[in-house]
Amino acid sequence: MPLLWLGLLLAATLGMEQLEGVLRLIEPDSREVIYRRDTFLALLVQHVMVVLVASLLAVAIGVGAAIAVTRPAGRDFRPLVGQLASIGQTFPPVAVLALAVPVLGFGTLPIIMALLLYGLLPIVRNTLAGIEGIDPAVHEAARGMGMTGVQVLRQVELPLAAPVILAGIRTSVTINIATAAIGATVGASNLGDPIISGIVNGNTAYVVQGAVLIGLLAISVDSLFERFMPRLAPR
């Protein structure tokens, strides 16, 4: 399944020219129906890079924070982290962009920032749920047998929470693939470009091209998760 979607994505990225006839039907009056300011391949790579960097950061920070506040030493910060992550989600990404641009300037940095904040909640929430959902008896046994804190974390908590954590990462990444498109408004060139430019110039064909590619990318990544998650998760 993932191969099929990836194949479709690549075909659409490289072969958009071939669809000129179809796209012409949508926009019979425009002079140009294929977006040409950048190759679609370059836009796709940009898009993937932005999402990848933001997601890796979100995973590192989100999982790290959730682990930290479930240790005895960090327990006091548990409510705070839960709230911060929720706020990250309720804050509209556009607002994050608006606030980030004056500080970080135009380009890729503000959008990474926005995606990071936006993608944090599902990861933090799921990591907390995964770790806190472990049967207390298992936890008691692990400590009672003489495992150290690190051993409990690595051999018991993380493996048992892994399916839930991965589900959170999957949600986070999929949302961010779609959200990254708004980065085009602050000059980060990615698959959002054709969409924004299409809206500005009233060219629906551009919008369709961007939307189709983003959709295919999201589905491909999601099916990759689908394919490989059960292997990582025991039982």
Partner 1 sequence: MIELFDVTKRFGDEIAVNDISLRVEKGELCALVGTSGCGKSTTLRMINRLIEHSEGEIHLDGQPVRTFNEQLLRRRIGYVIQSTGLFPHWTVARNIGLVPRLLKWPRTRIRERVAELMGLLGLPPAEFAAKYPHQLSGGQAQRVGVARALAADPEILLMDEPFGALDPITRESLQHELRDLQARLHKTIVFVTHDMDEALALADRLVVMHRGRIVQQGRPIELLREPVDNFVASLLGGVERGLKEAGLTRVSERMLPLGPRLLARERVAQTAPLRDALSMMLWHRVDRLTVVDDDDIPIGELSLRRLVGGRPE
- Interface with partner 1, residue 148, by CB under 8 A: yes
Minimum CB separation from partner 1 for residue 71, in Å?
15
- Interface with partner 1, residue 2, by CB under 8 A: no
| 3 state SS of 49 | helix
- The CA-atom distances, in angstroms, between 131 and each of 16, 161, 170, 188, 224 are 45, 5, 17, 37, 24
Q: How far apart are CA 198 and CA 204, in angstroms?
A: 6
Q: List all residues 6 or more positions away from 188 whose beta carbon is below 8 Å from its beta carbon.
A: 46, 50, 106, 107, 108, 110, 111
Kindly tell me which residue out of 24, 71, 78, 143 binds partner 1, with binding defined by CB under 8 A: 143
Q: Which is nearer to partner 1, 97 or 156 (CB)?
A: 156
Burial of 54 per CB tally in 10 Å (0-12, 13-18, 19+): buried
Q: How far apart are CA 52 and CA 177, in angstroms?
A: 9
- Per rule CB under 8 A, count of chain residues that contact partner 1: 19
Kindly tell me which residue out of 107, 159, 187, 215 binds partner 1, with binding defined by CB under 8 A: 159
Minimum CB separation from partner 1 for residue 131, in Å?
14
Q: Which is nearer to partner 1, 161 or 219 (CB)?
A: 161
- Interface with partner 1, residue 137, by CB under 8 A: yes
- Interface with partner 1, residue 146, by CB under 8 A: yes
Q: Which is nearer to partner 1, 106 or 228 (CB)?
A: 228
Are 52 and 60 within 8 A, CB to CB?
no
In the complex, the residues that contact partner 1 under the rule CB under 8 A are 135, 137-148, 151, 156, 159-160, 234-235
